[in-house]
Amino acid sequence: MKQDDAKSQALKQFLYSQKGLERLMMLLREKWRSYGKTAGKVWLEDPTDEEIREIEQLIGKTQHRQGKLGIMAKDFEAAIDEVTYGQMKLKEILEIYFDEELVSKKDEEAIVLGEKEKIAAHLNKEADGRWPDGSFAYVWMNTLTPAKLWKHMESFNGEEEMIQVILQIGDALEILSSLKDGRGIRLSELSKEVTGDPDKLDHDTTVGKLFLTALSVLPEEDNYGDRSTSAPYRLSYEEMLDVYIRAGIRPDDISSYVIFYGLHLEDEEGRVDAYEDILKRKEPVMVSLYNLQKIIRAMPNGKAVYVIENQSVFKKLITLCPEASLICTSNTLRTAALMLLDLLCKEDIAIYYSGDVDPEGLTMADRVYRRSRGKVSIWHMSPEDYEKSRGEGFLSEVRLSELSFVRSDCLKETARMIRANGNTADQMKLIEVLKEELLVREKN
């Protein structure tokens, strides 16, 4: 970039004196960056009289079209030669005018690619031998492509900080994968151990968000209907708690809860007396995620467990079928409910799930079915049940779009029928058939 000789200074002074050239110079810079050479034509939108006059005085050859002024890059380069500044390439002219070194977009991309690969190589060097091949940390680190690392670096104060964080998250994954016999660890304890800061892995920190994406490499992760695979840290709060629980992290949370009726809960000392007393009184009980942390086993008082989404249906069934064992998810799959279902799925018992026959109900049923790997049976959510429970209201397109996330074969036909008809449904219309079938099952 030559700017210190008399010719360059004279050219700069001339160009700066021509105020009508300012927009043209910016267009020529972008054109050169695109081609990496003197080529092509630029179009000046809505040129002023001053711009037209000065450009045509300099270049002579221009093209007018629909309020635009067209200038060939090579004509501008030739014009500079003619005004006695000597033969110069467009690149040199632009560098003198903008006082910067010009790099084509292609070369810039090559430079960036080289930087990305350099960072990836640096990370690989730092992580070499840190974790066993095939370990969760090793698998996660190998998902971090140069492009992803470059993107992640925007959130950190440089390459060194980012690599340190990645290594710490890898260490956290190794600790989680080594937990035995259901033994968990609190998030603050894990964070303190690997980073020295008990709050660094919190979900609302930059490091915590990256940690949540890393947890996807652990086994049996739930992808929530593929809605969050590109950015797991966009999960809802309940889904995030579930990710932690399944990874072996014990969150201290009382906002997530589940309501159940007729269940025995056991901790390491046996059946918990508080829940036994409530069971004897034949009353439903609400239990928080915090309390469920200590429970190691759950068993029905009856012959099976019936999971009901609709709170009104749940209340009706415990009145009509007082010997049954039921769980209410209250129209949402809270982490506490999922944790209780995980405990029940470990037992040799029948579990039935029945929800509203609508888009939200089907997506929740689909998630429970897939999570349990078919251990939970879908109960009265068939196309026939939809016909019996159909209402007069209509579902919005936004709600109907949720049906695209249903993947279980046992629910796909119902999803197709809901999409075709578009009507809402009321599970209370199925209360009699649910009651009769439940009573028969409990008697046999």
For residue 229, is pLDDT > 50?
A: no
The model's pLDDT over 50-80, given as tens digits with 9 standing for 90+, comes to 999 998 888 887 888 888 999 999 999 888 8
Q: Which two tokens stand for residue 165?
A: 């964080």
The model's pLDDT over 93-151, given as tens digits with 9 standing for 90+, comes to 999 999 888 888 887 777 777 888 888 899 889 988 899 888 888 889 888 888 888 88
The CATH number given to 257-443 is 3.40.1360.10
- Measured CA to CA, the distance from residue 40 to residue 45 in angstroms comes to 16
Tell me, what's the pLDDT at 183?
A: 64
The model's pLDDT over 284-312, given as tens digits with 9 standing for 90+, comes to 999 998 888 889 999 999 889 999 999 99
- For range 212-231, the mean pLDDT: 58
Domain ranges of the chain: 6-102, 117-247, 257-443
Per-residue confidence band for 420, with pLDDT thresholds at 50, 70 and 90: very high
Per-residue confidence band for 225, with pLDDT thresholds at 50, 70 and 90: very low
Task: Supply the mean pLDDT for the chain.
Answer: 87
For residue 393, is pLDDT > 80?
A: yes
- For range 14-40, the mean pLDDT: 89
The model's pLDDT over 178-205, given as tens digits with 9 standing for 90+, comes to 876 556 788 888 999 999 999 899 988 9
The model's pLDDT over 237-280, given as tens digits with 9 standing for 90+, comes to 888 888 888 888 877 667 789 999 999 999 999 999 999 999 99
Tell me which of 226 and 362 has the higher pLDDT: 362
